[in-house]
Amino acid sequence: MPLRTRAFGVLLKKIAKEPTTPDQMIALRIKREKLLSTGVGRFVCGADSPNVEVDEVIAEIEGRAVRLRIHRPIGAVGTPPIVVNYHGGGWCLGSPEQSRWMASRVAERAGAVVVSPVYRLAPEHPFPAAVDDACGALQWIGLHAADLGGDPGRIAVMGDSAGGNLATVAALAARDAGGPELRGQVLIYPAVEMYERWPSEDENADAPVLTSSGMHTFTEMYLAADHGTEDWRASPIRAASHEGLSPVLILTAGHDPLRDHGRHYREVLQAAGVRVELIDYPDTVHGFAALPGVAPTAHTALGDIVAFLKGVF
């Protein structure tokens, strides 16, 4: 693991106590959002690419005003494809700004309009609020693609961690709803199962950024009264069928309790006849794609994501 990544992990454990109560989770969310706007936050999490235009659209989705952060490549030729990007944060933390570095550079290098929707967060808004918002946003974007400056016939989804879970669920829901038809899915260390404990969780129980205990706290606060549900919208690996899905790129990190989620989901997709590629980055940690300042692998992953998207678009 690179020295700067190890140092960041040690520092993080010293300054950021894992939340165990709803009030602590909300306080951590506020603290993290403030940090993003500081010099330290810009160094660790990166900033928007100077080669994209960043805009916001307020969409009316199922009676609610939903903020969409839009990244448009400057000087794009023709009508670009669209990537719908869901941020991570254990369904309890985060915002579209958290993934601005990756989202804006995918827009720049893949020549795509990247749309990052806000979704409701737990513990205030437990399952299935985030699912409803994620699926609703994808449907809205499909219907309003031209208004956003993108091609309605070339849409992909992307998400990291909890956002990877929501991207997976949104893709399954879109297939079942008959659209929008997706060209691809980019799932970055996705959480696809709520309860099974696979070996990577034991191997990385006390890893930097995400621990085994942290995983369970997020799950419990997200599912709340529905904890124990076998609903595939919580655990998309449990969907009745995975046939007919668009091609999938799964990225995993070696020092991540969620690593085996990606491996097991690849097996399920392959069994369903879905084209899937998994790339593991053995020397990095959970969250690396949103930590370009301390995780050099983020830059490598960006190139892999862009190559995949260009191939499916």
Count other Cβ atoms within 10 Å, centred on residue 147: 10
Among residues 49, 104, 161, 200, the one annotated as catalytic is: 161
Share of the chain above pLDDT 90, in %: 94
Is 125 among the catalytic positions? no
269, 240 contact by CB (below 8 A) = no
- What's the full length of the chain, in residues? 313
pLDDT band of residue 11 (cuts 50, 70, 90) is: low
Share of the chain above pLDDT 70, in %: 98
* Mean pLDDT, rounded, for 207-230: 97
Q: Could you tell me how far CA 55 lies from the centroid of its own chain?
A: 20
- Whole-number CA gyration radius for the chain: 18
Mean pLDDT (the chain) is 96
Pairing type for strands 52-61 and 155-160 reads unpaired
Count other Cβ atoms within 10 Å, centred on residue 17: 9
| Per-residue model confidence as pLDDT tens digits over 154-186 | 999 999 999 999 999 999 999 999 999 999 999
Token couple for 295:
């995780």
Among residues 71, 255, 261, 286, the one annotated as catalytic is: 286
N- to C-terminal Cα separation, the chain: 33
Torsion of CA 256, 257, 262, 264, to 10 degrees: 150
Spatial separation of the C-alpha atoms in residues 44 and 293, rounded to whole Å = 4
pTM of this prediction?
Answer: 0.97
> In this structure, which amino acid lies at residue 83?
V
| Per-residue model confidence as pLDDT tens digits over 244-283 | 999 999 999 999 999 999 999 999 999 999 999 999 999 9
Is 49 among the catalytic positions? no
Cβ burial 104-131 (10 Å sphere, 16+ → b, else e): bbbbbbbbbbbbbbbbbbbbebbbbbbb
CA angle 192, 194, 198 (to 5 degrees): 80
- Identify the H or E element spanning 201: helix 199-203
pLDDT > 70? residue 126: yes
| Per-residue model confidence as pLDDT tens digits over 34-79 | 999 999 999 999 999 999 999 999 999 999 999 999 999 998 889 9
**Residue 165 has what pLDDT?**
98
pLDDT > 70? residue 14: no
Is 161 among the catalytic positions? yes
Token couple for 53:
């235009």
Spatial separation of the C-alpha atoms in residues 39 and 210, rounded to whole Å = 23
Among residues 133, 256, 260, 261, the one annotated as catalytic is: 256
